[in-house]
Amino acid sequence: MKIYSLMFAGVGGQGSLLIAELTSLAAVQAGYDTKQTEVHGVSQRGGSVETHVRFGEKIHSPIVTPGEAHAVVGLEKLEALRFAHFIDPQNGTILVNDYELVPASVLNAEKIYPHESIEFLKSKGLRVISLPASQTARDLGDARMANVVLLGALSNLLPIEREVWDKTLRLRIPAKYLEGNLQAFEAGAKEMTERMKAEA
């Protein structure tokens, strides 16, 4: 049985931990041995946050080895670039929210921010799929759901049935936010399907 190694990267407050947790819960529901790391980073300060998730028949460590990730999910362009070295360059996919969060605390941040990061990663021959997750979430009424838009996109790359994802979302998301998050998941899954068809 194939082992899936996933990396979730974002800035504190973007919800990368939530979608890592949802992925872990869905994998367990689907019958896989699953392990997830604790959060690495300074999420409470708006700093860089990374979470590893691995699942398969038997998982001994939650830590993803650089160069072996099936997917890297970047909730922001700089974070996707920062953790791109984890991706399997032959078979992996970098999913990026086409969104820039320029750190206000860094001097001349706007000038030194890597605005061309998506193009740079593509130039290295990596499979990069950029989605306007933040805009999609705003269109649905809440920009905070960008993480779940990306989770919906990621679901197309994983061997977990849609019913399992739905069940997991219903179990984990508070009732007052559930409908919006289900819509966000569906929007991400649909857009990913269209991108994959366009690639074929």
What confidence tens digit (pLDDT) does each residue in 7-26 have? 999 887 788 999 999 999 99
pLDDT of residue 44: 53
Reported for 186-190, long-range contacts at CB under 8 A and 24+ positions apart, including other chains, are 186/152, 187/136, 187/140, 187/149, 187/152, 188/131, 188/133, 188/136, 188/148, 188/149, 188/150, 188/151, 188/152, 188/153, 188/154, 188/155, 189/152, 189/153, 189/155, 189/156, 189/162, 190/152
**pLDDT band, very low/low/confident/very high, at 104 (cuts 50, 70, 90):** low
Q: Which residues contact 4 (CB under 8 A, 6 or more apart)?
A: 27, 54, 55, 56, 70, 71, 158, 159
pLDDT of residue 113: 81
**For the segment 180-191, what is each residue's pLDDT rounded down to a tens digit?**
999 999 999 999
Q: Which residues contact 79 (CB under 8 A, 6 or more apart)?
A: 9, 10, 11, 48
pLDDT of residue 39: 67
What is the share, in percent, of the chain residues with pLDDT greater than 70?
94
Q: Where are the domains of the chain?
A: 4-132+158-175
Please state, rounded to an integer, the average pLDDT across all residues of the chain: 91
Tokens of 91: 């078979």
- For residue 69, the 8-state DSSP code is B
Q: Please name the fold of domain 4-132+158-175.
A: Pyruvate-ferredoxin Oxidoreductase; domain 3 (3.40.920)
* Site of tokens 């991400």: 188
Amino acid at 184: A
CB atoms within 10 A of CB 151: 29
More confident residue, 169 or 106: 169
* Phi, psi (rounded to 5 degrees) for 53: -135, 130
pLDDT of residue 159: 97
SS (H, E, C) 4-49: EEEEEEEECCCCHHHHHHHHHHHHHHCCCEEEECCCEECHHHCCEE
